[in-house]
Structure 1
Amino acid sequence: MVLSTLFKKAAHSSVVRAVMATTFCVALITSPIAQANQAQSEPAPQAETLRALLANIQTLAGRFEQHIYENEEKVEVMQGIFALQRPSQLYWETESPDESVLVADGETVWYYNPFIEQVSLFAQSQTMASNPLLVLLESDAWDGFYIQFDQGRWIIDGQDEAQGQQLVLRFNSANLLVEMELSDAYGQRSVFMLSDLQENQPIAPKRFEFIVPDGVDIDDQRDY
């Protein structure tokens, strides 16, 4: 939700939405997720099928269009570009209506807002803790989520600490991830439509490095 308005109460909400940013979504990884008991665990065959689909994605890059809803009322549409590399790296740049950049490098999530000339830093493990976007990037983050396949969509529901959060994934006939929907218990929902996709193509390591521009304020919210 990061994994964009993943990842301003806005800076923190973006991280949750992405992935993202809020998608990617979106920061990502090794977070302590509550363990689901056997009664809550996802149906094994469906979970393994989804795991296999996601395992085919080592890198993914393209464009996104994000539709943001609050209590089912559309409040904003955002567009930009993204790149992710499993297991823990994400680049998410919003181009319109406002510019921002989110970079997750495996340890830190950097959220840069050029309008206010500020970059906020979040511990990646804490930012996406108990968030269903984890399953996109972290192959071991499946405990605590209930997974089912319904009408061509993969529905991932959070349990325990992630209760009320839901991630919906849709793949096309070529098994490319083309749409994500992330919602929470507070009536916020983001729908991400992905296009111009390039799967498993090399991505330069510097894409996931953030260099703080001169003169920019640093808001370090990492909790060591």
Structure 2
Amino acid sequence: MRSLLTALAVVCSLHITPGPLFAQETPREKLDTLLRDIETLSASVTQLIVESDGAVLEESAIQMHLLRPDGFYWETLDPFPELVVTDGNTLWNYQPDLEQVVIEDWDSTRSELAAQLLSGRTDRLSEEYRIDLTPDADDSEFLFQLHPLDADSVYRVIRISFLQQELESIHLDHKNGQQTLWQFSNQRRNKGLEHKLFEFEPPAGIEIVDNSLSGR
């Protein structure tokens, strides 16, 4: 599960530095604008984990679905199948190779950074990050850089890029030199997703580890 939850966003609202080209719109407000109209989102995700020496430690193919406010589906297809899915109340972590599912109560503060951002929780980042924004000349591409304010943060900087109003990538630069990159493609926005996609029915015969309050 840690491979899917390495970038936990422990976030509160944003302390931001206005960019010179956006006198009437702060970087966080611009980020809000780019994310505001997303009610549902499906995308293919390529995840790269890169060591400090530049070697690729792991490359994963992922399918994600988002249903606001709290429906999130993050399935690693290759090389190590794994599913993390929540309906906003319960979190299921299914690992087919282990024939096991772990059930926990959902805590939005423990979600993937991708889920935090795409769910529109940017207003809770300010106590943790300063945000800078670098647009290109024709405003078709935007690069947001989140600089942790806490000296003990595990991140050096987080970069979020948009191309033609669509999320292009999220890049986590860790202080230990490791880097995590999510690249988004084949995006389908506001096409309608069923709520049952964000619920998980364990297959027969697998081990169920229920750590939720109701299962204790």
Q: TM-score range with shorter-chain normalisation?
A: 0.7 to 0.9
Question: Deviation of residue 194 (structure 1)?
Answer: 1.4
Instruction: Determine whether 1:43 maps to 2:17.
Output: yes
User: Gaps (5+ residues) in structure 1?
Assistant: 1-10, 23-27
Report the residue type matching 1:218 in the other structure: I
Give the structure 2 partner of residue 74 of structure 1. 56
Give 2:65's match in structure 1, choosing from 51, 66, 83: 83
Aligned residues between the structures: 197
Whole-angstrom distance in 1 between the partners of 2:196 and 2:49 = 30
Give the structure 2 partner of residue 159 of structure 1. 149
Question: Deviation of residue 87 (structure 1)?
Answer: 2.2
Give the structure 2 partner of residue 7 of structure 1. none
Residues 1-224 of structure 1 mapped to structure 2, 5 A cutoff: 11-17=1-7, 33=11, 41-43=15-17, 45-71=26-52, 72-125=54-107, 128=110, 134-139=116-121, 140-144=123-127, 145-150=129-134, 152-160=142-150, 163-165=153-155, 166-173=157-164, 175-221=165-211
User: Gaps (5+ residues) in structure 2?
Assistant: 19-25, 136-141
Question: Deviation of residue 75 (structure 1)?
Answer: 0.7
Are 1:90 and 1:103, in contact at CA under 8 Å, matched by a contact in 2?
yes
Question: Deviation of residue 90 (structure 1)?
Answer: 0.9
Q: Rate the CA distance shift 1:108–1:188 in 2: closer, same or farther, 3 A.
A: farther
Whole-angstrom distance in 1 between the partners of 2:183 and 2:114 = 18
Q: Rate the CA distance shift 1:200–1:132 in 2: closer, same or farther, 3 A.
A: closer
Name the SS for the 1:115 alignment partner: helix
TM-score (norm 2): 0.77
Report the residue type matching 2:196 in the other structure: K
Report the residue type matching 2:38 in the other structure: I
TM-score (norm 1): 0.74
Whole-angstrom distance in 2 between the partners of 1:120 and 1:187 = 31
Whole-angstrom distance in 2 between the partners of 1:161 and 1:134 = 22
- Higher relative strand content: 2
Question: Identity rate of aligned residues, in percent?
Answer: 25
- Segments ≥4 residues shifted beyond 6 Å: none
Question: Deviation of residue 162 (structure 1)?
Answer: 7.7
Report the residue type matching 1:143 in the other structure: S
Give the structure 1 partner of residue 23 of structure 2. none
Name the SS for the 1:65 alignment partner: strand
Question: Deviation of residue 182 (structure 1)?
Answer: 2.6
